[in-house]
A and B are shown apart, each in its own frame.
Chain A
Amino acid sequence: MKSSLEKPKGLSKDKILLIVTGCIVGIAAVLLTIFGNPGNMGFCIACFIRDISGAVKLHNAGVVQYVRPEIIGLVLGAFVISLVKGEFKPRGGSSPMLRFMIAFCVMVGALVFLGCPLRMVLRLAAGDLNALVALVGFACGIAIGCWFLNNGFSLGKAYPQSALEGAALPAINVGLLILAVFGTSLLFYSEKGPGSMHAPIVLALACGLVVGIMAQRSRMCFAGGIRDIILLKDWTLTLGFVAVFVSALVFNLIAGKFKLGFTGQPVAHAQHFWNFIGMVVVGLGSVMLGGCPLRQLILAGEGNSDSGVAVLGFAVGAAFAHNFGLASSAASADSLGGPGINGKVAVFICLAFLLVVAGVKTFAKKEN
């Protein structure tokens, strides 16, 4: 069968799809904060997986425990649309344990900054200049990852797996949804703090589903945008990134939620070096995983069990981050916030680990 891909005239279909997806993500994110999500946290893959980890008691941080329907929607949206479009392809076996550990490090980096790449863009669109420092760090991390890629970095091939293997992570999300609707007494939900702040379950799930479908179709990836500029001088994926920023910025301005500055920002701190280095880890780790945390959720929905393992790595990383005091605290009237000594040490260990793995998987003699 001949591919339907044709030489694009003007703005190609994939570019339009990315811009539309970005606009939907930006608008949905601000909408979710208006309806109850924490400030500048319409979507945050890292924070939301962390909240789910808390809800099932993998960690005991009482202020960040809630089953976020957005995550469930993202995975199931990607799962359903990939089935419909014939793109549900169970694959796995590309260094799953290394992916687990890389994802663990990405989560630690994200929780030192207090956000995944998507929340970084949303924070920027609300005037939080700390996210600009983080963006520089994220781009540096991606540039380091690109250097390894250009020199032959690979986590190895994935191979076809059974449909059951590919459907495992979506099935876990169905289970979480059933618990969130019918079994909340079994879960641990925050009574105060960010975990207690959430949009109605139906709205959160619907936003997750729509974004999951759109992100699967458009291949939206926040690490991929900067990576493709560096590697290929290709700006296509960056359009999604920019569209999220512009749409969220406009909506924030209309809704009166825009506040420019480093201080007084919701669920954030102004420890510049740690915001920078946390996102270096996220950028490098995301390139090694082949996509940002959002993209890992979408790929897991498409049946990629390596990405499913990465999602579990995020969840366990989040649990460790809170059990061992690695995550930053947000700035408040009494505190500047930022990471404690454990978090500062951990972020450097994570960076060193990523560099060692990247080095070995780039320069060690290939087995195949």
Chain B
Amino acid sequence: MLELDLTGLSCPEPVVKTKRALKENPQGVVSIVDNRAALENVSRFGRAMGYKVNAVEKDGAWRIEITK
């Protein structure tokens, strides 16, 4: 699955880049973010689009799996 390194990006770039990636990869993507606001935004967007969202924290970053 496509993995996006979105660490260090300020809002709303993580969610915009996730949205663009999902358009090209409708089966799902993995977004890696390093702040809680981005985690909340990307997760909320994924759920709103009807995807399953599973986020796991590791070393101050979150690996958000967005899948069908």
User: Chain A residues in contact with chain B, CB under 8 A?
Assistant: 1-3, 5, 7-8, 14, 87, 89, 91, 94, 149-150, 154-155, 157-159, 219, 224, 227-228, 231-234, 236, 290-291, 304, 306
Contact = CB atoms under 8 A, between A and B. Distances in A.
B60 A89 contact: yes
A306 B8 CA distance: 11
Contact of B16 (A5, A7, A231): A231
Interface residues of B, number: 30
A286 to B, nearest CB: 12
Main secondary structure of the interface of A (DSSP, over half): loop
B39 A5 contact: yes
A312 B39 CA distance: 28
A158 B8 contact: yes
Interface of B: 7-13, 15-16, 19-20, 34-37, 39-40, 43-45, 47-48, 53-58, 60, 62
A14 B40 contact: yes
Given A1-B57, A3-B55, A87-B36, A232 B10 contact: no
10 contacts: A3-B39, A5-B53, A7-B53, A89-B34, A154-B9, A158-B9, A159-B8, A224-B11, A234-B44, A234-B45
A252 to B, nearest CB: 31
Contact of A232 (B8, B37, B45): B45
A5 B60 CA distance: 16
Contacts of B36: 87
B5 to A, nearest CB: 9
Contact of B56 (A3, A8, A94, A158): A3
A157 B7 contact: yes
Nearest to A87: B36
